[in-house]
Amino acid sequence: MERDALKAKGEVPTFTQAIPGALEKYGPEMASERYRKQWVASLELYAVPVFGETKVDEVTVDDVFAALQPIWLEKTDTARRVRGRIEKVLLWAKGQGFVKGENPARWGGNLELRLSKPSSVAKVIHQPALALTDLADWFSDLKSRKGNAARALELAALTAARSGEVRGMKWGEIDFEHRLWIVPAARMKMDREHRVPLSNAATELLKGLERGSDDDFVFAAPRGGALSDMALSQIMKRMHFAALKVNGKGYVDRVSGRPAVPHGLRSAFRDWVAECTSYPGEMAEVALAHKVSNSVEAAYRRGDQLEKRRQMMSAWAAFLTGSQDQKIIGFEVSRG
């Protein structure tokens, strides 16, 4: 085994190399194979991009904080679970003799001094979102920027998907023939497979990228693995401050005046559906993979409804690119 080979050579593994060993130890305690995959996937999304290549005996509390802080308020439950999983990987490493001293991912007397108590964190309902009138200019600005983080943010805008869903996307999830992205349940907040119809703009974006194998990340980080949540946030921050110098306003939320963030793109999509179209709100909720009644989800997961969602996402893409104005668009809802 890799662990034994490393020990034989006297080599300390990196955090990424330690994950399989921790999974081998703690996997039998997990409820299902799906949970085990989710356990690993969450570490690959949030921890590995930050300190995956760091040797386990060199991981610091600063490293762990850097991985958790960007998602602590927005995704508190996820962040709490990731912290526990990081702690277990490092605990396994300590049991193997690779690490000595206190665990940098422990909560008590450590991270609790730097992060809010999970049970007391207020649920964030409204993330700063772009004003609908700024979307076309913002999207044009984004398309002019280079790099995988910019392309990931572009796809997140076009699909109204969560940042983590986009950053974790692998080539095997994309069905180009049917212009469909199928996100596995293990990567979804609701633990259910989510089908995302791809507009022409989204499809062309993906086709323009260098294709990897089915297990490769579509938007890989420079050193491999998935992009960090911070990568997309930094793109939006740079765009905001650059625009601020030009127009004195930047890209801010219409109500709060706060700079828009990646998650706010989903709110902007929901505002567009409500204010600029006649598409049913329930359809938008399904597109956003929000929890809805079983009867609503069942209706909108049928093939014909998937195509209506495709129409909606194509109209959204047209709005982002400026080829669709704010007139009411949509379709008539059949009754009876």
Q: How far apart are CA 133 and CA 320, in angstroms?
A: 10
Sign for the CA dihedral angle at 301, 302, 307, 309 comes to: negative
Domain covering 2-120: architecture: Orthogonal Bundle (1.10)
Provide the Cα torsion 126, 195, 328, 295; round to 10°. -80
Delimit the domains of the chain by residue range: 2-120, 132-320
Looking from the CA of 328 toward its CB, the CA atoms found within 13 Å total: 7
- pLDDT value of position 186: 83
- Same fold? 2-120, 132-320: no
Query: Any idea what the Cα angle at residue 326 is, between residues 322 and 330, rounded to 5°?
Result: 105
Give the fold, CATH level 3, of 132-320.
hpI Integrase; Chain A (1.10.443)
Specify the amino acid at residue 276. Answer: C
Q: Tokens 């008539």, residue?
A: 332
Beta bridge partner(s), residue 14 = 55
- How would you write the pLDDT of the chain (336 residues) with one tens digit per residue? 455 555 555 689 999 999 999 999 998 888 788 788 889 988 998 899 999 999 999 999 999 999 998 888 878 888 899 999 999 999 999 999 999 999 999 999 999 999 888 877 655 446 889 999 999 999 999 999 999 999 999 999 999 999 999 999 999 999 999 999 999 988 887 778 899 999 999 999 999 999 989 999 999 998 888 898 889 999 999 999 999 999 999 999 988 899 999 999 999 999 999 888 888 888 888 899 887 656 666 666 655 588 889 999 999 999 999 876 545 455 443 322
Question: Are 90 and 53 contacting, i.e. CB atoms less than 8 angstroms apart?
Answer: no
pLDDT at 335: 29
Residue 231 is predicted with a pLDDT of: 92
